[in-house]
Amino acid sequence: MLSRGTFAGAALSVLLCCQALALQTPKPGTTSDTRTGPRPDHRDLLQSFTLALDKGGDWLILEVQQASTADTRVRFISAYPACGSFRVRAMDYIFENTSVQELAGKADLCVSDAISTEVILWAKTRKRAEMHDPFLGAMAVCGSNTVVKHLPPRDYVHLTILAIKAPGVAALWDLPDALQKRYEDQTGQTPFSSPNMTYEDWRLAHRSLSLHAAAQIRNGDFDLVMPPLPQAQGAGGKRTGP
């Protein structure tokens, strides 16, 4: 399992590496500068992906997988502090006639770590010393490879500049909101609620999904994209944490 301290060390290592890269100046007329040259589109390799977004201590996990040859399932998981542990809610939705790549939109989840570190090249200098845990974790299955990213909060990065240099990387920050908006546009409701059900009825209807998600979090299934939450328990069901 990865701890929050491990995430901090990893972020610091990336920062130091990228500061060194930023000092390198390519020779005029050369095409060796991979930071500004054209890049291949890796998005056609994307098979599935998972996002974990830190919302001020609450966590939103979005798991996107192919449900059939034509459809894609998105699982929405919410983990929030409650009574000394974390309560978990989960639900899923199938986007019909929609591929995983379509749901990813412009975000390049398969871009290599060497290229995605240019995110930090545009990090605001005054913020570098303050950065600790990642704001957004992403894990994508791309062909036979698994690509993991840990990104800082959007206000730590010059996204306007990054959108010009690497638009596929800049689009990663907007992906969680884009997925939720797509769900809201299709259903007319927000995740974890239903206009035809009380909150308690909703929790009971999604009890098995919530318990399963809590067990996955507790067992470390999402540790590559978020800190471990060993006290996770399914909302609407009995306690599943220690």
Q: What pLDDT, in 10s, does the model give residues 109-118?
A: 998 765 555 5
Residue 49 has pLDDT above 90, yes or no: yes
- Give the residue among 46, 47, 60, 64 at the shortest CA–CA distance from 217: 60
pLDDT category of residue 195 using cuts at 50, 70 and 90: confident
- pTM value is 0.75
Minimum mean pLDDT range among 46-60, 102-116, 180-194: 102-116
186-189 CB contacts, 8 Å cutoff, 24+ apart: 186/93, 186/95, 187/93
Minimum mean pLDDT range among 25-29, 51-55, 204-208: 25-29
Q: What pLDDT, in 10s, does the model give residues 2-30?
A: 444 444 444 434 333 443 333 343 333 33
